């Protein structure tokens, strides 16, 4: 039996046809995402290229329309707000706003300006303070904010908060407390709720398709699928994984850490970091935000040739530009190298109060993704990743024994899509990540 795994991106729709018996790839296809008309047009075109039959199931993830924008509202910035922020990142969301404490009128204005797709409302450990959570629920109930709300705070106050919000017509989804006890982060229930809300409200509300079929097919946001793929890969290889996806608009960094030795069950932080984490750098894209890479390297005091700076100006204005010739590819890879280094530094370093640096010293594999790495000369693409492993002055602990590879076959998203319903096929497919493996058609 085979299944089609489809990623509907903002620019391209990519597909793989996967044999569920052994995880082999039977075909691949890509087409422009038809967001100007109906994304189902491009999706159907990819299915036809793959040769998928109507009887074969279709699993879809999507970042079309900008993906998932999440706002987090918590009790204390260094405790539950930080926990909520980390849960949001682990759900594949782009966290566009974080607020802590009792919401004021100005806070509501800032929240509305962030234009979140979903609001994650958290606060208080179970048995702890509930006043702030109740106050914020009442504020949101009266605010002119249409975004659905995931409520994942103090268990004792959750029912009352739900009643207050639902009384004014708000869409509210209950989840378990993200921080039930100090030092214990519990992201799974909130992650599932965010995904459910994303599918029910966000995908259908972005006007990507005129019919219901697309919303029925989409299982998760693309970053959520990739994050799950990284998690499966880490478990399959038995080692920590760091993945860097360098895109046209953002550079995303994913890490999956395996508890080992004395770290198993030990609580070292008030709001501990999740085992799997994704961070999004919206100023480090290869096209739409290419000039942001130049600004970032200057702040980080990294070198970047003048010609590469000029190239960034050009491609940020002409986003359809493709690198042609040795000179253009040199500049393209210079920008990719800079984006990768800065993105990993930000992922690894502590950036919020109460946060510790990400423990990446045991990473065994650094995996690259994104068009610039998939289509570059393999040696040059590997050099981009090696530059990350040589960043000993970046303020984070570089893994000493990591190897580097590129997901040239773009398999991670499919591994994540398969993980829940077809774990054995997902694990088998994960074995080929970084190898460019594909079973020939016919």
Task: Encode pLDDT of 87-124 as tens digits.
Answer: 776 666 778 898 989 999 999 999 999 999 899 999 88
Tens-place pLDDT, residues 412-437: 999 999 999 999 999 999 998 876 54
Residue 30: is it exposed, middle or buried by C-beta count within 10 angstroms (0-12/13-18/19+)? middle
3-state secondary structure of 163: helix
Q: What is the 8-class DSSP label of residue 175?
A: -
Cα 403 from chain centre = 23
CB atoms within 10 A of CB 26: 18
User: pTM to 2 decimals?
Assistant: 0.78
Q: E strands, 141-295, where?
A: 149-151, 172-174, 218-221, 240-246, 251-256, 276-281
pLDDT tops 90 at residue 360: yes
Instruction: Tell whether the model's pLDDT for residue 381 goes beyond 80.
Output: yes
- Which has more confidence, 195 or 114? 114
Give me the residue label for tokens 């620019």.
11
How confident is the model over 230-264, as pLDDT tens digits? 999 999 999 999 999 998 878 899 999 987 654 44
pLDDT single digits (tens) 10-45:
778 999 999 999 999 999 999 888 878 888 999 999
Q: 187 pLDDT exceeds 60?
A: yes
Task: State the CB neighbour count (10 A cutoff) for residue 241.
Answer: 27
pLDDT tens sequence across 383-400: 999 999 999 989 899 998
**SS3 state of residue 154:** coil
- Looking at residue 274, its pLDDT comes to 73
Which pair of tokens denotes residue 173?
């989804």
* Residue 155 C-beta-side C-alpha neighbours within 13 Å: 11
pLDDT: is 332 or 439 the higher one?
Answer: 332
Helix axes 188-197, 80-90, angle to 10 degrees: 60
Answer with the residue of higher pLDDT: 191 or 177: 177
Check residue 66 and give its pLDDT.
Answer: 63
* Token couple for 439: 């079973």
276 pLDDT higher than 70: yes
């Amino acid at each position: 039996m085979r299944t089609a795994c489809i990623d509907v991106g903002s620019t391209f729709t990519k597909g793989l046809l996967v044999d569920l018996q052994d995880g082999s790839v039977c075909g691949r296809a890509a087409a422009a995402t038809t967001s100007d008309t109906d994304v189902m047009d491009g999706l159907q075109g990819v299915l036809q290229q793959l040769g998928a039959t109507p009887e074969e199931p279709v699993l879809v993830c999507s970042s079309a329309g900008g993906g998932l924008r999440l706002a987090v509202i918590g009790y204390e910035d260094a405790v539950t707000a930080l926990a909520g922020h980390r849960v949001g990142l682990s759900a594949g969301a782009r966290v566009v706003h974080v607020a802590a404490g009792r919401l004021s009128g100005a806070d509501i204005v800032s929240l509305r300006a962030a234009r979140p797709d979903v609001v994650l409302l958290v606060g208080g450990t179970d048995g702890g303070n509930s006043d702030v959570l109740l106050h914020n629920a009442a504020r949101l109930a009266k605010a002119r904010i249409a975004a659905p709300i995931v409520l994942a705070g103090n268990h004792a106050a959750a029912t009352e908060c739900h009643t207050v919000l639902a009384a004014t017509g708000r869409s509210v989804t209950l989840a378990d407390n993200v921080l039930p006890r100090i030092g214990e982060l519990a992201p799974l229930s909130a992650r599932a709720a965010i995904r459910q809300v994303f599918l029910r409200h966000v995908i259908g509300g972005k006007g990507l398709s005129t019919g219901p079929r697309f919303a029925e097919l989409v299982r998760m946001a693309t970053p959520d699928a990739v994050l799950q793929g990284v998690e499966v890969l880490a478990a399959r290889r038995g080692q920590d994984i760091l993945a860097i996806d360098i895109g046209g608009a953002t550079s995303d960094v994913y890490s999956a850490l395996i508890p080992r030795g004395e770290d198993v069950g030990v609580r070292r932080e008030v709001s501990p970091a999740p085992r799997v984490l994704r961070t999004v750098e919206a100023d480090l894209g290869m096209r739409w935000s290419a000039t942001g890479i130049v600004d970032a390297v200057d702040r980080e005091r990294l070198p970047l040739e003048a010609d590469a700076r000029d190239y960034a100006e050009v491609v940020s204005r002409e986003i359809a530009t493709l690198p042609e010739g040795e000179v253009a590819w040199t500049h393209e890879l210079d920008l990719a190298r800079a984006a990768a280094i800065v993105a990993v530094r930000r992922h690894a370093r502590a950036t919020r109060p109460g946060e510790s640096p990400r423990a990446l010293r045991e990473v065994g594999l650094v995996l690259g993704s994104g068009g610039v790495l998939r289509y570059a000369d393999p040696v040059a693409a590997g050099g981009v990743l090696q530059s990350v492993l040589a960043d000993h002055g970046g303020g984070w602990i570089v893994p000493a024994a990591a190897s580097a590879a590129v997901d040239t076959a773009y398999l991670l998203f499919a591994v994540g899509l398969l993980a829940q319903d077809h774990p054995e096929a997902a694990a088998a497919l994960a074995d080929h990540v970084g190898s460019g493996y594909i079973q020939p058609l016919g």
